[in-house]
Structure 1
């Protein structure tokens, strides 16, 4: 019988007992943080639907919309790393409460914009408040789950992005259509008010639902806390060569490849999120609720892509090929969308956007399995935030680029070809440069049985 590592916490628990503990952890944490992220995404991208009537009401151009949609990511970029460092000091419950209360209030205030500078300022603040939610939850899960249990959890959490668009798209259409003129207020204004309020409620609940770390979890008994400590310590011992120091980690080529790869993926994702409704409307669909249901179907494929690719990645214990192939599929879908738009095929555009959503969104949760294989400690705390914040600057550039192409050519097609090429670069970078990421080994109990 193999001898346990003397440096690890002692445990006599079987794999089945530890599995039950981690199921409790997942059921406690994942549904709530996923709901928070669903609402965050609804508030982030509802501007894509508001655009369909808001621009005419305010007499604004596509250029103003592109700048406002994108400036969100400047606030996101500047405040994401500080938010993650603050999370390490004050814990996830207080951090998520702060984030949700702030962006909820800003979302409601969006209903009252009248000038472009109002629009730009609130979008910047919304990005600044939301900064840290995504990388903060990714970091938070590393406090609770070892890598081989984290893939499906991250996939479920990140499926909030397509799920929010799947649910939020038809909801946005109905809200705008049936509240338009109510109390003398436009439908797009009601959209911001109605969809911003739930964020404030969830922010208050975060302080009561979440626990910052396992050792403070009163809803776990001492044996269950030992199960978590054992598997996390086991994983840490097996990856002792990871970078701990923040600045040292950013002198390595791998980290910058990760940043550039995610930047390319987010370019495609931002295109789908902020211009999907406009691309569908450009094919001849004028009714807002119809556009909403079409976008819901498109993002259903994105949700399936996330869940299926995350499951396949966990099953094979491989992330590099799964992330790269999904990104390549996302790029192919954008090329197909450009061709379909040029030929005037509405079904072709819809199918192509569904393919792109499945690939692009399916690549993101698997991608996030890569950074923890190269970093830990402070490097991981700040590194996850910096990778995400720099990469999300793509959300600033993509809308402005597409609005510029549309203004100069009258069509989105040329811009879609370029963005498809950018996203394909992500697949190439991951396959060529991310070669030495060690695959996490299954954690075994003292009798050598593999954890499920």
Structure 2
């Protein structure tokens, strides 16, 4: 980086810092709300599993297929959705996504059989496709790389918030829905939580801004400082990464991080989908209000871990070493939860699940800092969409793999199915650590923890 760039960055530091703080204040709450409701609507099905079996005769195989087929629809429409977001702007497109998936999520209240359940799960994936990668793309165009992992981490806070608040909400609606309405409790849960997405989508139309140039809450100096530093980062990414949609989709680094993200999603969704049942099994109780409260504990701990490590992971060394460590801890904790279930140790089981959740929440934002360091423009839209769409197929594989292994090697606690999830976390750890051997122009710009001016202006992993 040239001396003139550093000088300009230093002089514009106050305006830049102010612009970043204002952008975080005005944009992040709405984005967190959108992902909060999205994560709630894609995972609340775990709370209705037993009720759907009893009231609608949904089989275990149909439930596993429905839980996973969400990600097939999600994967098919992910890249087109991200390219359309680039064309129409984040404000309109993210709002459209939320409104349509909310309507589909509410329709789960009217499930009648295996077929309708599977079809609606597929449509939920289709309508929600593009939200997560769209936000990742959106944030990569608003925030310099030094601050980007922190913003990713704040966005990720929607996951623990969703489960910390959503678990007792879902459990409460199921427990008390029969007495408050003529519907079953699970019907009330699906309808209410689906409508929350519709309301959030309408709010997004008024609260999101497509880019710094359109933000009325930034003064001209702040706009200039933010636009200037993002332009400098784009120039580095353009020289170091692929250009255009097809080159991005064929880039080996994009595929490398797709595999890492696939492994992460197997651990995440293999744990998340069955968390209420696993907690219920450890406690020896049916899914309901009490199980919902206990299931919220891992997400409460994960909330603090995700924010703390996301804020501190502002150098390449921290990101690589911490990311590798968190993947290893995730794998060990998942194996530990399987052992606790077999050994009849509920307290240790909850402890291991808590560690697993905190670890995979902390490593997610770090993982996304890598592709956003070398992708920009339409290449970023396509590359980020590809990583998220194929990576999220881990969410399709996880429940089917866990169910299949448990049927092939049956145990009372289903331990072997849980063990299979942890193996992929260890593979991700090895792959992330090996990024130290990658050659990238941006790497050197985030290696110094002391030179804040350089880090504020420079992209990196």
Shorter-chain TM-score tier: over 0.9
Unaligned runs of 5+ in 1: none
SS of equivalent to 1:244: coil
- Aligned partner of 1:256 in structure 2 is 255
Aligned residue pairs, count = 447
Which is further off, 64-73 or 228-237?
228-237
- 1:34-80 CA distances to partner (integer Å, 9 max, x unpaired)? 11110111111110111132222222222111111111101110011
Matched, 1:320 2:324: no
Q: In the alignment, which residue of structure 1 is the partner of 2:265? A: 266
The structure with the greater share of residues assigned to helix is 2
Please state whether the residue corresponding to 2:210 is helix, strand or coil. Answer: coil
Under a length normalisation based on structure 1, what TM-score does the superposition of the two structures give?
Answer: 0.93
What is the CA-CA distance between 1:172 and the residue it aligns to? 1.1
Whole-angstrom distance in 2 between the partners of 1:449 and 1:101: 41
CA displacement 1:215-267 (0-9 Å, x = unmatched): 22223222221011111122234443222233223444322221111100100
What is the deviation of 1:434?
A: 5.5
1:107/1:196 contact within 8 Å kept = yes
1:288 aligns to 2:292 (yes or no): no
Question: Shift in Å at residue 313 of structure 1?
Answer: 1.1
Quick one: distance in 1 between partners of 2:435 and 2:444? 19
Measure, in 2, the Cα distance between the counterparts of 1:448 and 1:98: 39
Tell me which residue corresponds to 2:134: 136
Q: Take 2:199 and 2:445, find their aligned partners in 1: how far apart are those partners?
A: 40
Deviation at 1:10, TM superposition (A): 7.2
Farther-moved stretch of structure 1 (245-254 vs 420-429):
245-254
Corresponding residue number in structure 1 for 2:431: 429
How far did residue 286 of structure 1 move?
Answer: 2.5
Are the counterparts in 2 of residues 317 and 440 from structure 1 also a CA contact under 8 Å? no
Give the whole-Å Cα distance in 2 for the aligned partners of 1:12 and 1:294.
Answer: 48
Q: Tell me, in whole angstroms, the C-alpha distance in 2 between the residues paired with 1:196 and 1:218.
A: 32
Change in CA separation of 1:15 and 1:126 when aligned onto 2, cut-off 3 Å:
same
- Distance, in Å, in 2 between the alignment partners of 1:36 and 1:263 is 23
Within a 5 Å distance, the mapping from 1:24-423 to structure 2 comes to: 24-239=22-237, 240-283=239-282, 284-286=284-286, 288-314=288-314, 318-408=318-408, 409-410=410-411, 411-423=413-425
CA distance change for structure 1 residues 392 and 434 in 2, over 3 Å: closer, same or farther?
Answer: farther
Aligned 8 A contact 2:107 2:191 in 1: yes
With the length of structure 2 as denominator, give the TM-score of the two structures. Answer: 0.91
Question: Cα–Cα, structure 1 residues 406 and 443, in superposed 2: closer, same or farther, change >3 Å?
Answer: closer
Could you tell me whether the CA contact under 8 Å between 2:9 and 2:453 is conserved in 1? no
Deviation at 1:280, TM superposition (A): 1.2
Structure 1 residue 155, shift from structure 2 partner: 0.4
The 1:391/1:450 distance shift into structure 2, 3 A limit, reads closer
